[in-house]
A = this chain, B = another copy of it.
Amino acid sequence: MVRLSKSCVLLSNSSACIMNSDSKYNLRGVSSSKEDVHSAIIGLDKGLFPNAFCKIYPDYFSGEPDYCSIVHADGAGSKSSLAYLYWKETGDLSVWKGIAQDAIVMNTDDLICAGSTGPFLFSSIINRNKHLIPAEVLSEIISGSAEFMQQMKEYGIEIHYMGGETADLGDVVKTITVDSTISCRMRRDHVVANNIQPDDVIIGFSSSGKAEYEKTYNSGIGSNGFTAARHDVLNHEYFSKYPETFDSTTAEDLIYSGSKKVSDIFAEAPLNTGKLLLSPTRTYLPVMKTILKKFYDCIHGIIHCSGGGQKKVMHYVDKLHIIKNNLFTAPPVFKLIQQESGAPWKEMFTVFNMGHRLEIYTEEKNAAAIIYIANNLGVDARIIGYCIADDKKKLTIESEFGTFEY
């Protein structure tokens, strides 16, 4: 049993006692940097393009030297636990469709960064507690996947459903896990290998708003940082009401330590708190399908600002100073999370995307045309910063909340 020191009781909406944030993540059993996972996989083959965003291997099936293949795995994470809570509170089954989209897009939008926009092969792995998750939830997830694939097809993007496994695993899974594996094959000379240059500009693509291919307003949240976001924002009444939605070995003070109920309205946003947090991860596939087709040989790097947020790019550069000085105004959902958690803004930028979840590194001359393509599909885009040579790697974020050095 992990226990908090009694001398530091976490107070939401207060800076009276700001717990060290690393400790808070560790006490909740998550880390945004996954140090010990990385230590466990040391020594594994890094593939053909070690600096690419995904692991890229030879095309073992055809053996053709001009081609390569990627198999990518990711899922909706603990966002499924929030979907469960929201569904139980409101009876609204539709949130499960969003979970289906999350589990797909967390894969496809990593694959975009390697330069692929399909065709993709998609396989799903769902583990559920049958006592709590009935067939109607599975149907909603499956039809959500089908609808997303159909919608992408309208933009020329092929995602083929190849089957999957749904297991009854109540002894291991409290509610439900929704994961996907998505694979693709591509020409090696179309791979974006991440060779970011001094003097590159950074084009950011907004994570929020309503793209042409979205039915409703997207809060911009993605599927990262959900253990923090759920517990920091939601009201402690859910602690006793839904014990199946959190780790019973985490100290009670860290569980649902915020002030909001899922139906509460946050002043600046057009969705209730639950739906704001459950907004399906926006895909950039339709936008990037056109951009990669026209500009793949001009793009020096593409970064999916998922786990690690705006700091993610730091894994892919060396001797470069990244300056992000023209960011989007942070969408309301991130203001809500900060307000409820009291997390320092400097840290917020390393957990959440804060406004854009995809960024392209390229020469400035390409920027206007790239931004135009995004705008045409209803996705806001702009030059959010630039790179300059330096003797080591560093990142400066000049934001509406202050300037932060990393």
Contacts and interface: CB of A to CB of B under 8 A. Distances in A.
A181 B165 CA distance: 9
A270 interface: no
B171 A171 contact: no
A71 B121 contact: yes
A80 interface: yes
A229 to B, nearest CB: 12
A323 B81 CA distance: 47
A250 to B, nearest CB: 7
Q: A interface, by DSSP: helix, strand, loop or mixed?
A: mixed
A165 B74 CA distance: 6
Interface stretch (A38-46, A285-293, A330-338): A38-46
Contacts of A172: 78, 80-81, 173-177
A170 B142 CA distance: 24
B29 A162 contact: no
Number of copies: 2
A81 B171 contact: yes
A127 B176 CA distance: 11
Interface string A154-198: 000010111111111111111111010101110000000000000
A78 to B, nearest CB: 5
A174 B176 CA distance: 11
A31 interface: yes
Contacts of A147: none
Contacts of A169: 77-78, 177
A246 interface: yes
Nearest to A39: B135
B119 A179 contact: no
A124 B73 contact: yes
Contacts of A11: none
A135 B36 CA distance: 6
15 contacts: A36-B134, A37-B168, A41-B138, A41-B142, A44-B161, A55-B163, A62-B62, A71-B163, A75-B127, A77-B169, A162-B183, A170-B227, A170-B249, A172-B176, A173-B174
- A-B pairs, 8 with minimum CB distance: A36-B135, A170-B247, A29-B170, A71-B162, A40-B138, A181-B181, A55-B163, A61-B185
